[in-house]
Amino acid sequence: MDILAESTRKLQKLCVSDFKKFKSTLFDELNNFYRPTDKIKIIESVLRFSKAESSKHIKVCQEPKTCSKSKNLALAEFILVQELEQLGINTGHEIFDLSEQKVIIGKLDDILKEIELLKMGHEIIYEDIKSEIDELRTMFFLSKKNWKQLLIGKFGEMTMSGIISESLSKKLLAILNDKVLLFISG
């Protein structure tokens, strides 16, 4: 049984229906974990769920200003962002929505495909880049600006440390500029 997933499911159900119970349960659940990364994973998952539910609900809601579901979701998102900030995560004003996350993940997959074509005998480099990209996929709770800086920093660090050669770094930079960096404002 995955304890993080169980906590996440419990909170996802409550964020739609009962904000007061959601808020107290959120604090109780987060207190069960000592590692900030576990707390961040839970918060990010519930935040992503809440944003997706809000997007679906707004399309069918007749009275978004008075609807209890709309209010619960908005309050849940607000408190979740505050919790991320409390954990030292600067969310900024622009957080990735679900559709943007899917587009970026697709673009990161495109980068991996293109790098896989370039790897010819560079298995270690490919695995290093793949693990860095996999880590970036879990960081969408960051603001777009911070996420972009992290992306650039990861590839810059691999280039400066020699993991990535200068010629490969030029190809990667072209791929990043064409596929990812232009997509993200900030």
The answer as to whether 37 is a domain residue is yes
Q: What is the pLDDT of residue 30?
A: 92
The token pair at 60 is 């069918």
Residues 31-55 have a mean pLDDT of 87
CA distance 114 to 101: 20
pLDDT averaged over every residue in the chain = 80
Model pTM above 0.75: no
The answer as to whether 91 is a domain residue is no
Q: Which of 112, 113, 160 is nearest to 133 (CA)?
A: 112
Q: What angle do CA 71, 72, 77 make, to 5 degrees?
A: 100
Residues 136-158 have a mean pLDDT of 79
Q: Which of 155, 142, 146, 164 is nearest to 108 (CA)?
A: 155
- Model confidence at 63: pLDDT above 90: no
The answer as to whether 186 is a domain residue is no
Q: How many folded domains does the chain comprise? A: 2
The token pair at 146 is 């911070």
Residue numbers of the domain that contains 71: 3-86
